[in-house]
Amino acid sequence: MPSPAPTGAAPVPDDRKPPRKPPGKPPHARGANGRIGPGARARSRGPRARAPRPDLDDAVVLYGWHPVAEALRNGKRTIHRLLATENAARRLAEELPGIAASPQIVRPGEIDALLAPDAVHQGLYAEAEPLEGYDLDTLPDDALVLALDQITDPHNVGAIVRTAAAFGVTAILTTARHSPAATGVLAKSASGGLEHVPFVVVKNLGDALDRLGERGFLRVGLDSEGEETFESLAARRPALLVLGAEGKGLRARTRSLCDAVARLDMAGAIKSLNVSNAAAIALYALTRRL
């Protein structure tokens, strides 16, 4: 039999019992820096709005003044749901009297809950049907088309859409894969341009360029090392301007299917531009030749 512990000695700990963990901070507690934790931040926005309707899986999400206002002006766009803060609804009534859709008045936090944390919605949110556009066979004979070769950044594509609307582009050709959907961030960056320039979505870009070439489209690739300049280009309609992704540029097959590969001559030390900026300059140069 083991001898008892000496008088005054600390009791031997019982290894069968796990040590108690100190109670953690509740999600709303303030840390040492005085900031409120994520739980309180979410609750401070008020009641969360319900999620997008499950029967509208293909719905286009639009937010911000210009994307939503242009959609409301577009008689071909079907709006299923329109949320607006009191201030945004007042502005809609002043600037777009007689619109068909009636907004549901909500607090800003209810729109925040439906979007990414950094989304700037300006008090407007809409869910709408995608617009019907062209396919390869229905593009008009005098069309000016932009083709995007695996440009995946929605901010860049949105800026390109906005530029395309400014230059009267007929449609934007893109692929089902390796391209962002025409919704959300892209729509916000397009600033209403989606209402004026439809997308033609194809499975294979090379095959689409081949078919458009058979239809008589002049296919012009944009590349910093192109053999021609836009000033020397014998431009005509229908025309197709092909843009490659930043870094990779035009893929080999895409480049081989272009009738001409043109460059933008620049006098500065840097010879390349962000793809959305390059698209704007190239469209300006091409439309002057057309």
Counting as low any pLDDT under 70, the low residues of the chain are 1-57
As a whole number of angstroms, the distance between CA 132 and CA 107 comes to 32
Cα 197 from Cα 161, distance rounded (Å): 7
Rounded to an integer, what distance in angstroms lies between the CA atom of residue 272 and that of residue 230?
A: 16
Tokens 């593009």 found at: 139
Read off the amino acid at residue 181.
A
Return the residue matching tokens 């194809």: 202
Average pLDDT of the chain to the nearest whole number: 85
Backbone phi and psi for residue 113, each to the nearest 5 degrees, phi listed first: -65, -20
Could you tell me if 208 and 242 are in contact, meaning their C-beta atoms sit under 8 angstroms apart? no
In this predicted structure, what is the pLDDT of residue 57?
Answer: 56
pLDDT at 248: 86
